[in-house]
Structure 1
Amino acid sequence: MKKRVVITGLGVVAPNGVGIPAFSEAIKKGISGIKFFPELRDLNFSCQLGAMPIISEEKKREYLSDLQLRNFNSSGILYGVIAGMDALKDAKIEVAKPEDEPLWDLGIIFGTGTSGIEKFREAIYRIDDKNVRRLGSTSVAQTMTSGVSAYLGGLIGAGNMVTANSSACATGTEALLMGYEHIVNGKAKYMLCGSTSDSGPYIWGGFDAMKVTTYKYNDSPGEVAGPMSAEASGFVPGSGAGAYLLESLESAQERGATIYAEILGGAVNNGGQRGGGSMSAPNSKAIQKCITDALKNSDVTGEEIDYINGHLTATIKDPDEIENWSIALNRNGDEFPYINSLKGMVGHCLAACGSIEIVSAILQLHEGFIFPNVNCENLHPEISYLIASEKIPTKFQKKSLQIIAKASFGFGDVNACAIFKKN
Structure 2
Amino acid sequence: MDRRVVITGLGVCAPNGVGLSDFTNALRDGKSGIRFQSKLEELDFGCQVAGEPLVKDNILNNYFTPLQQRGLNATGIVYGVIAGVDAWSDAGLDKNASDEPDWERGVLFGTGILGVDKFRESIHLVDDKQVRRLGSTTVLQTMASGISAYLGGILGCGNQVTTNSSACTTGTEGVLMAYERIAAGKAEIMLTGSCSDSGPYVWGGFDAMRILPRTYNDTPSKASRPLSASAKGFVPGSGAGALVLESLNSAQKRGARIYAEVLGGEINSGGQRGEGSMTAPNSVAVQRCIRNAVINSGITANDIEAINGHLTATSKDVLEIANWSAALDREGVSFPYINSFKGTIGHCLAAAGSIECVGTVLQFREGILFGNVNCEDVHPEILGLISGTKIPHKTLPFHPKIIAKASFGFGDVNACVIFKEFQKEVI
CA contact (8 A) 1:28 1:372 kept: yes
Counterparts of 2:224 and 2:56 in 1: how far apart (Å)?
A: 30
State the match for 2:359 in structure 1: 360
Question: How far does the alpha carbon of each residue in 1:134-157 deviate from its partner, in whole angstroms, 9 at most, with x for none?
Answer: 543211000011000000011000
CA distance in 1, matches of 2:128, 2:185: 49
C-alpha separation between the residues in 1 aligned to 2:334 and 2:55? 42
Written as runs of structure 1 = structure 2, the 5 A alignment for 1:19-98 is 19-97=19-97
| Partner Cα separation in structure 1 for residue 250 and residue 105 of structure 2 | 12
| Other structure's SS at 1:360 match | helix
SS in 2 for 1:244: strand
How high is the TM-score relative to the length of structure 1? 0.98
* Alpha-carbon separation, structure 1, partners of 2:223 and 2:49: 10
**Post-superposition shift, 1:42?**
1.1
Q: Which SS does the other structure have where 2:119 is aligned?
A: helix
Extract structure 1 runs of 4+ deviating beyond 6 A.
none
Q: Find the counterpart in structure 1 of residue 297 from structure 2.
A: 298
Query: Does residue 219 of the first structure (1) align with residue 218 of the second (2)?
Result: yes
| Partner AA of 2:360 in structure 1 | A
**1:250 and 2:249 matched:** yes
- Whether contact under 8 Å (1:36, 1:221) holds in the other structure is yes
Q: For residue 40 of structure 1, what is the amino acid of its counterpart?
A: L
Amino acid paired to 1:34: I
AA partner of residue 411 (structure 2): G
Distance in 1 between the 2:293 and 2:364 partners? 18
The answer to whether the Cα contact below 8 Å between 1:266 and 1:417 also exists between their aligned partners in 2 is yes
Residue 254 of structure 1 deviates from its aligned partner by 1.2
- 1:225 is displaced (CA, Å) by 4.8
Q: How does 1:236-385 map to 2 (within 5 A)?
A: 236-385=235-384
Q: Distance in 2 between matches of 1:295 and 1:421?
A: 12
Partners of 1:366 and 1:268 lie apart in 2 by 26
Where does structure 1 lack aligned partners over 5 or more consecutive residues?
none
Contact 1:124 / 1:135 at 8 angstroms: preserved in 2? no
* Shift in Å, 1:366: 2.6
User: SS where residue 384 of structure 2 aligns?
Assistant: helix
CA–CA distance in structure 2, aligned partners of residues 222 and 317 of structure 1 = 21
What are the Cα deviations for residues 263-309 of structure 1, in whole angstroms up to 9, with x where unaligned? 00001000000111110111010000000011110011111000000
- 1:38 Cα deviation from its structure 2 partner: 1.1
In structure 2, what residue type is equivalent to 1:185? A
Which ranges in structure 2 are unaligned for 5 or more consecutive residues?
Answer: 423-427
- How many Å separate the matches in 1 of 2:251 and 2:210? 46
Deviations 1:289-339 (A, max 9, x none): 000011110011111000000000000100000000000000000000000
Task: Tell me the TM-score normalised to structure 2 length.
Answer: 0.97
Retained in 2: the 8 A contact 1:52–1:240? yes
Q: Shift in Å at residue 35 of structure 1?
A: 0.4
Q: Partner amino acid for 1:318? A: D
2:318 match: secondary structure: helix
Question: Is the Cα–Cα contact under 8 Å of residues 108 and 158 in structure 1 kept in the other structure?
Answer: yes
Q: Which amino acid aligns with 2:416?
A: C
Alpha-carbon distance in structure 2 between the residues aligned to 1:304 and 1:4: 19
Contact kept in structure 2, 1:225 and 1:231, CA below 8 Å: no
Would you say the 8 A contact 2:2–2:183 is kept in 1? yes
The answer (yes or no) to whether the contact 2:224–2:344 under 8 Å persists in 1 is no
Bigger shift: residues 371-380 or 223-232: 223-232
Partners of 1:134 and 1:210 lie apart in 2 by: 35
Q: CA deviation at 1:213?
A: 0.7
Q: Residues of 2 paired with 1:50 and 1:162: CA distance? A: 31
Rounded Cα–Cα distance in structure 1 between residues aligned with 2:403 and 2:50:
29
Residues 226 and 373 in structure 1, CA contact (< 8 A), matched pair in contact too: no
Q: CA deviation at 1:129?
A: 7.1
Alignment of 1:168-179 (within 5 A): 168-179=167-178
Shift of 1:365: 2.2
Q: How much has 1:223 moved relative to structure 2?
A: 2.0
Residues 23-42 of structure 1: CA deviation (Å, up to 9, x unaligned): 00110000000000111011
**CA distance in 1 between partners of 2:34 and 2:154 (Å):** 31
Query: Cα offset for 1:100?
Result: 3.2
Structure 1 match to 2:425: none
State the alpha-carbon separation in 2 of the partners of residues 272 and 196 from structure 1.
25
For 2:392 and 2:222, locate their aligned partners in 1 and report how far apart those are by CA, in whole Å: 17
| Shift, 1:67, TM fit | 1.1
Task: Tell me the equivalent position of 1:7.
Answer: 7
Q: Percent identity?
A: 60
Hey, what's the Cα distance between the residues in 1 that align with 2:407 and 2:201? 23
Counterparts of 1:183 and 1:130 in 2: how far apart (Å)?
Answer: 48
Q: Counterpart of 2:92 in structure 1: which amino acid?
A: K
What SS is found at the alignment partner of 2:232?
coil
2: distance between equivalents of 1:334 and 1:68?
A: 53
- The reply on whether 1:115 has 2:103 as its aligned counterpart is no
Counterpart Cα distance in 2 of 1:249 and 1:346: 32
Please tell me the residue identity of whatever aligns with 1:66.
P
Q: Distance in 2 between matches of 1:147 and 1:243?
A: 16
Distance in 2 (alpha carbons) for counterparts of 1:133 and 1:276: 49
Q: Distance in 2 between matches of 1:247 and 1:422?
A: 15
Does residue 149 of the first structure (1) align with residue 148 of the second (2)?
yes
